[in-house]
């Protein structure tokens, strides 16, 4: 279906509503978010002139540097996460996986044959009854499974088995395809596929930001799910290379070389992982709900609309005032997601007023470059 205002549910953030009570955890998360966002902004201002110069005189070096930055996630704030782990949320499991080995300069060995797979481990957290229908939840870049705690709790209360996944080199998971400290989108979809192999067919899959894009690709590549929810989906890696270029101050000479460097390292062409055109050619996809805020500063709402327009059986739910991360813990959004997973369709032409950030077990966060450092789930 074509995403349009007439076919969307709008969840508005109530202006002037009383803010949720400030708790020490929320205050600490807010401070961490502000510090991380300020540090990220300062770093961008510092390296923009450098990338501008490299664009002119050394685009190859600039491309390799940009690609390494592109592949380097930040880790959650250890103090906030430690408190969360101490409180506990669900059963935490460490699962094995076999991954492609992209740790060297080429995806193949000296003889041209694929290298032996890497033995890796990733972490999941389980909520809800063991015999409940399984729902997989996959966070975004520099995020972790705890960001899905509010939705996970709601799914568990509704009788579902929620499987919250840490992608490789994120959260509590181990290194992925590129080794320690680096990650690429396949580290997300491979973790999702390995979790599904362990826990079985999905009633639904839910992904946020890059996790939303990777979840969409996993479904397109054959992951079985009865329903899919994509929250603020980043489903076009090429568009994100352009956004990164604008952010860091380089042009097409570095950007195109950066994309090519990634292809040489992994054997994958980023242009082949743009989800909307792939979805547009399919008629066998499960019903999908796309949730996106109109003022998302990290992934523009046009990205969600593009995926909704290409996904044949989809509904678009647009929010106002919840940004990129707060919709993960907004009560009205959570209610809509759980209802959709249960089989209800998002109702068109409906307006629901909601107080931004009112859901419990949330965290204060800014854009996705800072959210992992600010966010941690809180035990029930």
In the chain, what are the domains?
Answer: 5-14+76-110+121-241+279-374 (3.40.50.1820)
By mean pLDDT, which of 136-145, 284-293, 310-319, 355-364 is the weakest? Answer: 355-364
The tokens for 310 are 């290409």
Q: Name the residue with higher pLDDT: 9 or 4.
A: 9
H or E stretch covering 136:
strand 134-138
Collapsing DSSP to helix, strand or coil, 95 comes out as: strand
* Phi and psi based region of residue 126 (left: phi greater than 0; alpha: psi -120 to 50; beta: remaining): beta
Residue 217: the pLDDT is: 97
Q: Tell me the CB-side half-sphere exposure of residue 75, using CA atoms within 13 A.
A: 14
**For range 182-191, the mean pLDDT:** 95
- N- to C-terminal Cα distance for the chain? 39
Residue 41: the pLDDT is: 58
Task: Say if residue 107's pLDDT is above 90.
Answer: no
**For range 31-54, the mean pLDDT:** 68
H or E stretch covering 12:
strand 8-13
d(CA 222, CA 218) in angstroms, rounded, equals 6
The tokens for 194 are 């390995």
Residue 29 confidence class, pLDDT cut points 50, 70, 90: very low
d(CA 330, CA 249) in angstroms, rounded, equals 34
**For range 201-218, the mean pLDDT:** 98
Burial (CB count <10 Å: 0-12, 13-18, 19+), residue 74: middle
Q: Which residues 6+ apart lie within 8 Å of 165 measured at CB?
A: 122, 123, 124, 136, 137, 138, 139, 145, 191, 192, 195
Task: Say if residue 196's pLDDT is above 60.
Answer: yes
Nearest Cα to 11, choosing from 363, 361, 355? Answer: 355
Residue 85 confidence class, pLDDT cut points 50, 70, 90: low
Residue 13: the pLDDT is: 43
Residue 4 confidence class, pLDDT cut points 50, 70, 90: very low
Residue 27 confidence class, pLDDT cut points 50, 70, 90: very low
d(CA 267, CA 107) in angstroms, rounded, equals 6
DSSP 336: H
Contact 54, 62 (CB under 8 A): yes
The tokens for 119 are 């033995």
By mean pLDDT, which of 47-61, 74-88, 234-248 is the weakest? Answer: 74-88
Name residue, tokens 């890059």. Answer: 210
Contact 354, 13 (CB under 8 A): yes
Return the percent helix, strand and coil in the chain, to nearest 5: 45, 20, 40
By mean pLDDT, which of 2-6, 138-142, 231-235 is the weakest? Answer: 2-6
By mean pLDDT, which of 208-212, 254-258, 341-345 is the weakest? Answer: 341-345
d(CA 206, CA 151) in angstroms, rounded, equals 10
Q: Which spans in the chain are helix H? A: 24-57, 59-70, 78-87, 149-157, 186-199, 210-220, 237-248, 252-266, 275-280, 301-310, 331-342, 368-374
Dihedral angle over CA of 32, 35, 37, 38, nearest 10: 170
By mean pLDDT, which of 262-266, 300-304, 320-324, 347-351 is the weakest? Answer: 347-351
Task: Say if residue 334's pLDDT is above 70.
Answer: yes
Q: Which residues 6+ apart lie within 8 Å of 295 measured at CB?
A: 301, 320, 321, 323
Residue 344: the pLDDT is: 78
Residue 166: the pLDDT is: 96
d(CA 174, CA 184) in angstroms, rounded, equals 14
Q: 161 - beta bridge partners?
A: 134
Contact 81, 372 (CB under 8 A): no
Residue 292 confidence class, pLDDT cut points 50, 70, 90: very high
Residue 109 confidence class, pLDDT cut points 50, 70, 90: confident
The tokens for 322 are 């919840």
Task: Say if residue 176's pLDDT is above 90.
Answer: yes
Task: Say if residue 147's pLDDT is above 50.
Answer: yes
């Amino acid at each position: 279906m074509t995403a349009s205002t007439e076919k969307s549910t709008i969840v508005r953030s109530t202006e002037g509503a009383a803010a949720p009570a400030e708790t020490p955890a929320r205050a600490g998360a807010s401070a961490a978010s502000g510090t991380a966002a300020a540090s990220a902004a300062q770093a961008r201002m510092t390296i923009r002139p450098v990338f501008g110069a490299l664009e002119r005189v050394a685009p190859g070096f600039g491309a390799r540097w940009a690609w390494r930055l592109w592949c380097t996630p930040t880790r959650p704030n250890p103090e906030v996460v430690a408190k969360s782990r101490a409180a506990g949320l669900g059963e935490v499991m460490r699962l094995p996986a076999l991954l492609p080995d992209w740790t060297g300069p080429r995806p193949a060995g000296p003889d041209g044959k694929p290298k032996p797979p890497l033995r890796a481990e990733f972490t999941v957290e389980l909520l809800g009854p063991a015999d409940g229908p399984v729902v997989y939840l996959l966070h975004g870049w520099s995020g972790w499974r705890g960001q899905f705690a509010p939705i996970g709790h709601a799914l568990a209360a509704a009788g579902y088995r929620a499987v919250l996944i840490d992608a490789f080199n994120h959260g509590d998971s181990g290194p992925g395809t590129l080794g320690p400290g680096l990650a690429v989108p396949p580290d997300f979809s491979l973790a999702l596929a390995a979790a599904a192999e362990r826990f079985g067919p999905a009633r639904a899959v839910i992904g946020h930001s890059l996790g939303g894009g990777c979840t969409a690709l996993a479904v397109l590549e054959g992951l079985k799910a009865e329903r899919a929810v994509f929250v603020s989906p980043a489903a076009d890696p090429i568009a994100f290379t352009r956004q990164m270029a604008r952010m860091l101050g380089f042009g097409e000479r570095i950007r195109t070389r950066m994309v090519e460097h990634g292809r040489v390292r992994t054997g994958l062409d980023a242009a082949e992982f743009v989800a909307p055109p792939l979805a547009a050619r399919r008629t066998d996809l499960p019903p999908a709900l796309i949730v996106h805020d109109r003022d998302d500063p990290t992934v523009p709402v046009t990205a969600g609309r593009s995926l909704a327009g290409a996904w044949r059986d989809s509904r678009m739910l647009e929010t106002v005032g919840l940004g990129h991360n707060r919709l993960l813990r907004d009560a009205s959004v959570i209610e809509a997601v759980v209802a959709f997973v249960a089989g209800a369709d998002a109702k068109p032409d409906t307006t629901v007023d909601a107080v931004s950030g009112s859901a419990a077990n949330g965290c204060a966060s800014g854009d996705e470059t800072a959210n992992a450092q600010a966010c941690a789930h809180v035990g029930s």
